A and B are shown apart, each in its own frame.
Chain A
Amino acid sequence: MKNFGYVKAFSSSEAVHLLDGATATKFIGGGTNLVDLMRENIERPDQLIDVTSLRDREIQETNDGRITIGAAVSNSAVAANDLIRRRFPLLSQAILFGASGQIRNMATVGGNLMQRTRCYYFYDEASRCNKRTKDAGCDAVHGFNRMHAILGCSPSCIATHPSDMCVALSALDATVEIEGRHRQRSIPFTDFHRLAGDTPQIETELQEGELITSVTIPSLEAAQNSVYRKVRDRSSYAFALVSIAAALEIRNGTITTARLALGGVAHKPWRAFAAERILEGSPAIDEVFRRAADATLEGAQGFEHNAFKIELARRLIVSTMSELAQKGGLS
């Protein structure tokens, strides 16, 4: 690993003002992804600004029922939080389905949003990767692509976003709160991560010099009947082949609210808006769930080793909806 300067910030405004624009600088949280990428020479910052001590916000409930989670709060602390477990059980579950106990203790919420793909070709300096080097080509498209994307693919990059937590936050219509040197702003979670397009190196809407300060989740009654499911190659401590975060509210047999997002299928957490439009206002029956699944997978593209994900995602949607319909129909 090349050497670098290190400085610790104690407030978000101090952190953004430490950036001078000239030095290649990265913010570091738990370091569970960044340190690994630096060791592999994929990330080569000249300076790190430690933002793990910006704990001023923690997890708070606002008067209008929204919940704000500080960016430096650990993944474990979010999963363990009583408010989160009671109000958004799918978020607590999603986090617990990711990584390992040790990594969840280190990893921060902000860092989880900023983690980079686990595509093997991105990690391997000897491979061609458009994300690492502009216009270098992509060795995943014709390589071993079992873990790769099936939705929103681009010829330049078929990497997936590896987070579980972000799939739940996408389904929950969260917003990302951001601070820059001159302004603060919010970005809807579903817009925060980008599809690869022809600029796979640009993964989020975060601009140079901006820092994530918190994530806000609006109140959602439907989250009382919600679940996170994950299909993977081993039963624990593995990235998703396909995962789903879903919430369903049913009144008198009719779906009044549906929230659905998929993980492991695209360059970003994939919010299934088309499925939600079909589900809401329809009866909670398998035929409707199948139509919602078909609408989600319309336009899906399989590669040599991952075409199975299309049918897998379809079945995961239908079975998860059925499960939630049974639970929600009884309450």
Chain B
Amino acid sequence: MTRGAPALEIARKVRDGSVSAAEVVEESLAAIDAVDPEVHAFLIVLHDDARSAAADIDRAVAAGEDPGPLAGVPVAVKDNLCTRGVPTTCSSRILEGWRPPYDATVVERLRAAGAIVMGKTNLDEFAMGSSTENSAFGPTRNPHDLTRVPGGSSGGSAAAVAAGLVPLALGSDTGGSIRQPAALCGVVGMKPTYGTVSRYGLIAFASSLDQVGPLTTTVTDSAALFDAIGGQDLRDSTCLERPAPRSVSVLSDGVEGLRVGVLAELVDDVDPAVAGRVREAAEALAAAGAVVEECSVPELRHGLPAYYLLAPAEASSNLARYDGVRYGLRVEADTVEAMNAATRAAGFGAEVKRRIMLGTYALSAGYYDAYYGQAQKVRTLIVEALESAYRRFDALLGATTPTTAFAIGAKIDDPWAMYLSDVCTVPSNLAGHPAISVPFGADDDGLPVGVQVLAPALGEPVLFRVAAVLEDAAPVAAPPKVHAR
């Protein structure tokens, strides 16, 4: 049995022939079929494709070929990543039924590493949201409490991993969309340094902020998945030329002598139960030999208002492509402009329209300097303040989210209340820095708490070293109520 096992353990067994990829895939499919009707992590499950890919892996093993470092490991893919011939919706009516003519680079790399794509996971429409309630195809539910949200926008990927349906999933993180749902579902979620992972085939939301990354049950798997998908891609000109930092090899290096700053802004402003866990995490790092100090980066408090001008501005431009001409929905009208406007009215949900409106306003004549221009300058202030902090510290520590998982429906009618869910995560996106959320105990209701480690650009090795120590020190938390045991 491999159900619930970490990915690298599964890959080892598949590679040495003690378990077949076919068995692993059947277990994952059975778990999905049994549990997902309650959780709704998946928008589509690829039964046939997964079985066929597993057979290929088993043939490679039998023939003595190298089946790859993630051989036979089931993986779920957020549905804003293109999969050739397989519907890719972004949880939007405007792309319902669309079949991309190409695979995202990260999907190609997963297949090359031997991983098996099991299906596409639910998200807030076009990754805009913090609860997965903004999906045109219905919300995903948190496996720890089905009345609560899994976070978002990668809520389907986080819930699929938390419920034990797959050991690995890909998400995307524009303002916290990997780390926030990871925290709320009790799994590990990591946003890589901007430019270390190709965005080719990631459907764009805010191009200067978007980055693809792993959601996993363990820190080791997070590093392994990052190693598998990272590295230069000539089809994404924002990809760094240098190789992405390799991370699996440093995991057991510990934190002896590392300087870790506990960010006041990411502790003082969050719920007491969450703040308490962050302080325990800081103590655990000190006990493991890190030099831990309190610190303050007041500029981080400007992150959320800056983000909620910059990201919608970029989105309003990126989503101009949904015009009813080349793909997706079209609502017929007499002129092109009327057709565009009717198509976008019918195809986009409320949050996407809200962000496009906000971004269009922030970029419009007369308001550009006051809103977009000012937010870009504030972005500079935040980047410089973080870089200054990293002259004193190797890594920073704080909460991932201001609260644990909230009830479905609680914030859906109050956009700013929902946006506040991202307050701890947006600074790393604005700066392009890596950050990871690691499960660290629970609150009084038994809901998972995530602590966040932040590092400077290309600081993934330090990030994973700190995360590994936190994982070992984490208080034991109750397993999810809904789980494929």
A and B associate? no
Q: Please list the residues of chain A having a beta carbon within 8 angstroms of any beta carbon in chain B.
A: none
Q: Please list the residues of chain B having a beta carbon within 8 angstroms of any beta carbon in chain A.
A: none
